[in-house]
Structure 1
Amino acid sequence: MATLLHIDSSVFPGEASASRAVTEVFRTHWQKRHPDGTVVYHDLAARPVPHITAESHTAGFADPASHTPGQAAAFAERVRLIEELEQADAVLIGAPMYNYSIPSTLKAWLDNVILMGRTAGESPSAQGTPVTVVASRGGSYAPGTPRESFEYVQNYLAAVLGGGLGLDVDFIVPELTMAPHNPAMAELVPLFEASRDRALEEAARKAERLAERSAA
């Protein structure tokens, strides 16, 4: 059976979140193609994973036989999250842009699953696993826009997920999501709507394509 690891990090619930709306479409289409599959879900806003501590960090570089009780407990939580990543056939991440970067809760998850010599390094243990990132943002940071240089979500996640963990990274980018809520952006509402609709269509199409790829 196929397994999808689905992570949402938006602070907004349900349809109030642009990224959650898109990940929900992706997940729904993935499940239609994998009716007997398993979805491992983390809502990092509702249930954050522990941030890295000195004990959980140093435990990753020490012989398990030498772990203190504190290191052992902290590292066990990291291993649980790492194993979820390693056992997934596909990964889906909702990563809205907050203050030009990813939510701190998503950074905490990444800090837990990045482990040199296992998930990162010369032979990453989840290498090649496809990961679809829904990188929503309130404005536009696309090439050629005034704020292009402030784009630290796609750049960062491409480096960490692709370069660091060896995953096969793909992005869906709903943008201008603040247009319906900010009067100063009212004239951009049609562009927001087009971006939203395109993102929803991409989510369905990419989930279907991924299902075909995994069945091949």
Structure 2
Amino acid sequence: MATLLHIDSSVFPNEASASRSVTDAFRRTWEEQHPQGKVIYRDLAADPVAHITADAHTAAFADPATHTPAQVAAFAERVRLVEELEQADAVVIGAPMYNFSIPSTLKAWLDNVAMVGRTAMTEESKVKGTPVTVVASRGGAYGPGTPREGYEYVQNYLQALLGDMLAMDVDFIVPELTMAPQNPAMAELVPLFEASRERAHQDAVVKAKGVVERLAA
């Protein structure tokens, strides 16, 4: 029985969130294609994980026999998140762009699960090669050739961390211009936003089916 780990981090509810609507489309397709599968869901906006602490960080490099009570408690929570990721056969992450970067709640989760010697920088990692689909929604346009191309830090960062550091198989879905319906100055871009949104939902369906087929092979 395959397991999907579904992570959302948008501060907006489903009906107002571009990233949540696309991760939901991915999940629904996964469930339709894989009715016997399991889904683990984390809403980091509603239930944030603890930011990394000195105790949680240093415990990962110390002999467990030497852990202080504070290290034991902090590390146990970190290990729980790591094990959740290790159990996943596939991952889908909603990562909206906030002020050119990802939500702090998602950064906190990443800091916890990126554990050198276990999930990161080791050939023995259980997450190596795991397919992860990232829904990197953004209010404007930051693709190649756009005026704000140099401000695109979400995909670059997540590719570096998930792809290079954790050796996961990263794929992106990028709904953009999501602020067009709310910002009068972007009114003329609404048709482009609508096309991007439709394309993102179609990509979610296609990519979810592809992941299911890959796991079944």
| TM beyond 0.5 | yes
Residue equivalent to 1:171: 172
Q: Identify the residue that residue 136 of structure 1 maps to in structure 2.
A: 137
Q: Distance in 2 between matches of 1:146 and 1:45?
A: 31
Among all aligned residue pairs of Structure 1 and Structure 2, give the percentage whose two residues are the same amino acid. 74
Q: Note the 1:106-121 alignment, pairs <5 A.
A: 106-121=106-121
1:52 aligns with 2:52: yes
Give the aligned partner of residue 61 of structure 2. Answer: 61
Matched, 1:201 2:205: no
> Once the two structures are superposed, what CA deviation does each residue of 1:145-167 show, in whole Å capped at 9, x if it has no partner?
00000000000000000000000
1:125 deviation in Å? 2.7
- CA offsets per residue over residues 34-86 of structure 1, 9 Å max, x none? 11111111000000000001111111110111111110010000101001111
SS of equivalent to 1:132:
strand
What are the equivalent positions in structure 2 for 1:1-216 lying under 5 Å apart? 1-123=1-123, 124-216=125-217
| CA deviation string 1:147-199 (max 9, x = no partner) | 00000000000000000000000000000000000000000000000000000
Normalised TM-score (structure 1): 0.99
Find the aligned partners of 2:158 and 2:121 in 1 and give their Cα distance.
17
- SS of the residue 1:195 aligns to: helix
1:121 deviates by: 1.1
Q: Cα RMSD over matched residues? A: 0.6
Question: CA–CA distance in 1 between the matches of 2:32 and 2:77?
Answer: 31
Secondary structure of 2:26's match?
helix
Uncovered stretches (5+) of structure 2, i.e. residues with no partner: none
Counterpart CA distance in 1 for 2:113 and 2:215 is 23
CA deviation profile, 1:1-41 (whole Å, cap 9, x unmatched): 01000000000011100000000000000011111111111
Distance, in Å, in 2 between the alignment partners of 1:32 and 1:194 is 25
Deviation at 1:122, TM superposition (A): 2.8
Gap runs ≥5 in structure 1: none
List, as ranges, runs of 4+ consecutive aligned residues in structure 1 with deviation greater than 3 Å. none
